[in-house]
Amino acid sequence: MKISYYPGCTLKTKAKNMDCPGVAALNALGVELVELPRWNCCGAVFSLADDDLLHLLAPVRDLIRVVEQGDNKLVVACSMCYNTLARANLLMRENSEKRHTINTFMEEERDYNGEVEVVHLLSFLRDEIGWEKIKESIKVPLRGLKIAPYYGCTLLRPQSVAIEPPEKRTLFKDLIETMGATVVDFPASTDCCSSYQILSNPDIGIETVSKILESAESWGAEAIVTSCPLCEYNLGKRQEDALRKHDKLKELPTFYFTQLLALALGLGAEVCNFELNHNGVVRLMESKKFLTAA
Amino acid sequence: MTIEISDKTYDEEFVKKVEEISGENFHKCMQCGTCSGGCPMIEHMDIPPRQIMILTHFGLKDKVISSKTAWICATCNACSVRCPRGIELTKVMEAIRQLTLRKNINYVEPSAISEEIMAGLPQIALVSCFRKHTS
């Protein structure tokens, strides 16, 4: 099976450790993620100003690229890109006035009416491949690893683009169990990691991160799994700042779900680019013997 | 805090602009405080989101614009999904930020970000921060 895939800017650079294992894992499951030709940055955040249509052009152009491929579905792995593309898509589907203005403005492009379905990779794994098939393909079960699923904001809010009902969320749980690991549901699973505030108000950002880490740790997690490069940056790469400020906090390795999936499918550390994560990640995987087993 | 509310303090243009930019009817707010109760950033704000809503409703522009609340908001939408009146507070916060940003005033100066921080940042951090906090 081939499917159009939007990696986004971060996955092609700072978060290759999310992109590469994702592509490899899907390949092992018989799906070729075909990178969209001539894709551009989606803008990372959906434009909330009602009079600002300009920032909708970027995500809409990406969606037009999908139609040009003769495809009607787009798989996105990055949570922020998913949210931005899905909301822009919804607006083009539902708001005829804005749709008309945008289509008229982009004279060089074909008209777009929201016909593409924007799907997050987690939903794709469940709906198009299925947990049973994934389970059958697991070569290195992540037995004994206690993982806290971290959704953050953009996978679940607003409701119009939520990948599943927030109060009945099971996607991460099902994936973690499929990989043979143990789920540690924790109260801060859908809290905000402070997002871009890590740049504007770093002290507030680190406090926010500390609370999430403390919550996951207090519920017994050994690792956090996420699908957003900004969450991974805040909770993972900036974890040192949180540990420095709060003596009680312990190191808590943060992974992308694609890395754990690739590892569980037996694809080995070489596709996971662990060097792009923070240090604790490799230590934990080695201590669990998941790297040698591959 | 004591707040004077009169026809002299009501800034009609400000209210209209927030209505126009946000596209939200924040006058529907019934002051239940669910937004403030669920806000993960509340402890860092000087005015809680619930109060921002009523201050905006009463057209108290200076209080709203000088507050740091809209700049601390990370647009996580915890408030919007819980609002029993269906108000997207994140759009109201966006409108409040835009009233400053559209005067060519930056909240974050890109040139002030250290090279060390810049080198490790994911692109989505930069793009989202600049979209939200620069003009």
Q: Which two tokens stand for residue A1?
A: 């099976």
> Using the beta-carbon criterion (under 8 Å), do A200 and B21 form an inter-chain contact?
no
* Mean pLDDT, range B12-19, rounded to an integer: 98
Using the structure block, give the residue that is written with the tokens 């777009």.
A112
What is the spatial distance between Cα A37 and Cα A54, in angstroms, rounded to a whole number? 22
In chain B, pLDDT over 90 holds for what percent of residues? 97
* E strand spans, chain A: 2-6, 32-35, 73-76, 117-120, 146-149, 182-183, 223-226, 254-256
Residue A234's domain is classified under what CATH number?
3.40.50.11810
pLDDT digits (tens, 9 = 90+) for B31-80: 999 999 999 999 999 999 999 999 999 999 999 999 999 999 999 999 99
A57 and A107 together in one domain: yes
Q: A177 and A99 in one domain?
A: no
Say what the pLDDT of residue A293 is. 56
Distance CA A88, CA A85 (A): 5
A128 domain residue, yes or no: no
* Cross-chain Cβ contact B22/A49 below 8 Å: yes
Mean pLDDT within B97-117: 95
To test the contact with chain B by mutation, choose from A47, A169, A193, A200 the residue with the greatest count of B C-beta atoms within 10 A, namely A200
Beta-strand relationship, A32-35 and A223-226: unpaired
A178: nearest Cα among A133, A210, A222, A223: A133
Residue A130 lies in a domain: no
**Helix, strand, coil fractions of chain A, as percent rounded to 5:** 50, 10, 35
Let me know if residue A127 belongs to a domain: no
Residue A79 placed within a domain:
yes
Q: Residue A212: CB partners within 8 Å, gap ≥ 6?
A: A150, A188, A191, A193, A235
CATH architecture of B12-103: Orthogonal Bundle (1.10)
- A169 and A286 inside one domain: yes
Residue A247's contacts (CB-CB under 8 Å, 6 or more residues apart) are none
Is A94 in CB contact (< 8 Å) with chain B?
Answer: no
Structure tokens at A261: 């999936």
**What residues of chain B have any CB closer than 8 angstroms to a CB in chain A?**
20-23, 40-41, 44, 71-72, 74-78, 80-81, 88, 90-91, 94-95, 98, 107-108, 113, 117, 120-129, 131-133
Which residue from B75, B78, B122 is facing A45, i.e. has the nearest CB? B75
Tokens of A240: 């040192």
- Prediction ipTM score: 0.96
d(CA A90, CA A92): 5
Across the interface, whether the CB atoms of A195 and B20 are under 8 A apart is answered no
Task: Compare CB distances from B125 to A41, A81, A230 and report the shortest one's residue.
Answer: A230
- Which pLDDT score, from 0 to 100, does residue A121 have? 98
Could you say which of A93, A121, A149 is where a domain stops? A121
Domain that holds residue A188: 139-293
Average pLDDT over residues B14-36: 98
User: pLDDT band at residue B90, thresholds of 50, 70 and 90?
Assistant: very high
DSSP A2-20: EEEEE--TGGGTTTHHHHH
Assigned domain for A248 exists: yes
Are A200 and A283 found together in one domain? yes
Number of domains in chain A: 2
**Same domain membership, residue A252 and residue A203:** yes
**pLDDT for the residue A161:** 98
What does pTM read for this prediction? Answer: 0.97
Interchain contact, A8 vs B98, CB within 8 Å: no
Largest CA distance in chain B: 51
- Local confidence pLDDT in tens for the 294 residues of chain A: 999 999 999 999 999 999 999 999 999 999 999 999 999 999 999 999 999 999 999 999 999 999 999 999 999 999 999 999 999 999 999 999 999 999 999 999 999 999 999 999 999 999 999 999 999 999 999 999 999 999 999 999 999 999 999 999 999 999 999 999 999 999 999 999 999 999 999 999 999 999 999 999 999 999 999 999 999 999 999 999 999 999 999 999 999 999 999 999 999 999 999 999 998 999 999 999 998 755
Q: Do A224 and A107 belong together in one domain?
A: no
Q: What is the mean pLDDT of chain B?
A: 97
Structural domain boundaries in chain B: 12-103, 107-135
* B86 burial type by CB count under 10 A (0-12 exposed, 13-18 middle, 19+ buried): exposed
Among A90, A121, A152, the domain-final residue is A121
Put simply, the answer to whether B122 touches A207 (Cβ < 8 Å) is no
Assess whether A273 and A145 both reside in one domain.
yes
DSSP letters, chain B, are: -----STTT--HHHHHHHHHHH---GGG-----HHHHH-TTGGG-SS-HHHHHHHHHTT-HHHHHH-SHHHH-----HHHHH-TT---HHHHHHHHHHHHHTTT--SS-GGGS-HHHHHH--HHHHHHHHHHH--
Cβ distance A14 to B127 less than 8 Å, yes or no, reads no
Residue whose structure tokens are 């949210």:
A83
